[in-house]
Structure 1
Amino acid sequence: MTPPPPYDGVHLIADLVGGSGLDDPALVERALREAAAVARATLIELRLHAFGPGQGITGVALLAESHISIHSWPEHGYAAVDIFVCGRRCDPDAALAALVEVLGARVQHERRIARGFGVMPA
């Protein structure tokens, strides 16, 4: 049996703090769309769920290359972000920078994970 061809991806996990609009669905949607665009990813669908005025938002940008997600807690000035892209064409760092810029936040913690079969260094 022939092994499958190598596949690799990068999963970037970040904690964002500060910023504004973590309870603003329009702003979070704009941040996710901008993140996908600057990462050179193919946006398939974007879904948001706002938990109510002053409360958090969960948003997922479904990409042909995987996903970008955000879960916010505006009462704590905090958002958890996942950016997972496969292959070498997409730029997860550009996606993170776009999220930070649009939301006016800063990265408190960041972790990069190389993923896939036949993983190549990220």
Structure 2
Amino acid sequence: MHRMQGLHLTADLYRCRCDAAWLTDPQRLAPWCVEATRAAGLHPVDQLFHVLPADGPGAGGVTATVLLAESHVCLHTWPLERAATLDVYVSDAAAHAAQARALMDALVQRFAPEWTEQRSLDRGDGE
């Protein structure tokens, strides 16, 4: 019997100091995210990057998902606020926790926030 024992990492990024294109350009962000996922030892199987319409002056943000064999990565950006939210979820924490943490570290470094709020949640039964 398989038990559900996942790890869900989240990060809220504020005042990102990265080049503005990282917050608005899926053509730049998508290949980098896929490569960062592979570099962390996880396995991307599909992806969807979508530009949101501008809400006022400036460019719209990006909402994105990279589907992993191990589960998923999601990110959302707010260019006007220079902010982003990140989720990395792996469904087998025992096997993939280190890779999930490495990927989250790479994502946070890419956006170079002045500060972050990060959380870690154990999912499923712990037995």
| Alignment partner of 1:5 out of 2, 6, 25 | 2
Identity of aligned residues (%): 29
CA RMSD for the aligned pairs?
A: 2.0
| Alignment partner of 1:55 out of 52, 60, 66 | 60
How far apart, CA to CA, are the structure 1 residues paired with 2:74 and 2:24?
Answer: 15
How far apart, CA to CA, are the structure 2 residues paired with 1:89 and 1:106?
Answer: 32
Please give the TM-score of this superposition, normalised by the length of structure 1: 0.82
SS of the residue 2:8 aligns to = strand
- Write the deviation string for residues 12-62 of structure 1: whole angstroms up to 9, x where unpaired: 011122123201212321342133113311111011001257110001000
SS of the residue 1:100 aligns to = helix
2:49 is aligned with what amino acid?
L
Structure in which a larger fraction of residues adopt helix: 2
Could you tell me which runs of 5 or more consecutive residues in structure 2 were left unpaired when the two chains were aligned.
none
Q: Runs (4+) of structure 1 moved beyond 4 Å?
A: none
Aligned length: 116
Please give the TM-score of this superposition, normalised by the length of structure 2: 0.79
Which structure 2 residues correspond to residues 41-120 of structure 1 after superposition, within 5 A?
A: 41-52=42-53, 54-87=59-92, 88-90=94-96, 91-105=99-113, 108-117=116-125, 119=126
Could you tell me which runs of 5 or more consecutive residues in structure 1 were left unpaired when the two chains were aligned.
none
Partner of 1:30: 31
How far apart, CA to CA, are the structure 2 residues paired with 1:81 and 1:102?
Answer: 12
